[in-house]
Amino acid sequence: MNRLHDAKRYGVLVDYRGILKELDTAIRAYQDLESRTQGGFDVQDLEGLYHQFSTEYKRLPALHEQLWSFFRSVTNKLDREQYRQVLALAS
């Protein structure tokens, strides 16, 4: 389950049942939520909000490399303290 938090930029919606293709239909069926809810939402704000996992997983190798490049200065890959120090310097 995704929970709202100011620091979260996005979440992951896992479609175990293969119904994600119905999301656009459901959103359009409830376009009047804005008038029925406090603040509501604008359907156009939701366009492009999700991506198919069948294409997103292809980005994982590059993202994995990008993550580990952040820790290139860590000489002992088993030393958690070195990782912590890299993170402390970054913040």
The kind and range of the H/E element at 44 are: helix 43-46
Domain spans of the chain?
Answer: 1-50, 58-91
End-to-end CA distance of the chain: 28
pLDDT at 4: 67
Which pair of tokens denotes residue 68?
């580990």
pLDDT at 22: 78
Which pair of tokens denotes residue 55?
């294409």
What pTM did the predictor assign? 0.41
pLDDT at 80: 94
Average pLDDT of adjacent 10-residue blocks, the chain of 91 residues? 68 74 72 59 67 82 92 93 92 74
